[in-house]
Homo-oligomer: A and B are copies of this chain.
């Protein structure tokens, strides 16, 4: 059977790469039929050349064309929801409904539509006008962006449909989308729909391109190439750090969403007050989607006591009672088993689970481990190994002071949650630990699990290193996510008719602009 084509410079063509691969249905363990190409160095070079040419031409294209594409693409995805969910379910083991069709797909198209609106309006660029000084600036497109999607969101973080894709394109950049090898057919179908939506837009060929895979060596060479301006990556810490090194060395930004154990602290008053409710909430959050979320609560911190013991026993019962979810791929299963092994080797005790599920289906038992605070403090690094999947480590501290010490040893995380008594019993403990947790996380939650990541302008899906590569940016949430893929561009004494329209006096899109220190949607009127 023929290997699938790649999409380069506006045309679908046979890959020049010699190698190919196939995906696997994790529900059956069987390799799927379709074969997909591994692009070679020459193909990466053609992609870069086309993206570079597209960037030069894109500057002269009205933003409306990009916005129109994003909106049209969203409509095409919605119109093919059943088909897409079916393909993705086969490749990922995730359920068609509600997960893929009713939750992730609408999230994806909503995100594309929000990006279209942001692109059209231009407020994301923080246009800033100093009328007296004759100086005007804004954020604007940076250049070709490579977007590398992860395994766990075949739509919402897909290299060719997800948040980074939408943000990079809405900011005016050509996108080179790299599919994730565990769901190539899903990504191919999305790319075909993108191609269809592009037919009615006047965008340069090469504005959106798509390849499936390349060798690690060729990928790093692509990232070092001066024609590439930035990288958006969601995936493992090991891969992210290699990408960071390549981009750092070439002086270009890489936005990396790497790994996170998402500490959840249950304060004693909360457990006393509503133990069963919290156990249910936590078990649901940890096991949902077989725990394959970057915001999965993988580290629970509690103060010791009889009520804590009962709470953990309750959680353990729920883990044992719940069916083990299908994992995305054998690679995820193997990495999870390795990580659980590493956490056990560092001193954690297995309370339940820990093994692969027997049979062809790719799955690991729901896994709960525990460790004392003292032991955690002796091995804080190894005991923060991310266990990507339905697994969590409970750290049982002697008291609130030991909880505080544990928080002081946390690495950077995307999120951190504190559950506390509604009656106020934990208020002093909250004040003690909140500043310690705050420093270590991008998003702080109260009485709420971190798993959901709302597409809100106020969201931060980011955090301190090594959760991400830069503490000031979010991967989710429009308009801020667009600014990652931008350069700040200033015009000093430039003649009015030579300014980009977004910085001229008139403001036809009604963008919010900071004019002489005040945010306004009005045109500039200089007396």
Contacts and interface: CB of A to CB of B under 8 A. Distances in A.
B465 A59 contact: no
A454 B133 contact: yes
Contact of A456 (B130, B248, B488, B518): B130
B493 A448 contact: yes
Contacts of A488: 442, 460, 462, 471-474, 480
Interface string A95-107: 0000000000000
Contacts of A323: none
A178 interface: no
A446 B495 contact: yes
Interface stretch (A17-25, A35-43, A135-143): A135-143
A521 B424 CA distance: 32
A448 B248 CA distance: 34
A217 interface: no
A443 B137 CA distance: 9
A248 B245 CA distance: 8
A131 to B, nearest CB: 9
Interface residues of A, number: 72
Given A135-B456, A460-B488, A483-B472, A56 B435 contact: yes
Interface string A444-484: 11111010001011111010111001111110000010011
Contacts of A443: 490-492
Contacts of A444: 489-492, 494
Interface in A18-68: 56, 59-60
A137 B493 contact: no
A359 interface: no
Contacts of A130: 454, 456-459
Contact of A459 (B56, B59, B244, B490): B490
A446 B444 CA distance: 47
A253 interface: yes
Contacts of A375: none
B251 A465 contact: yes
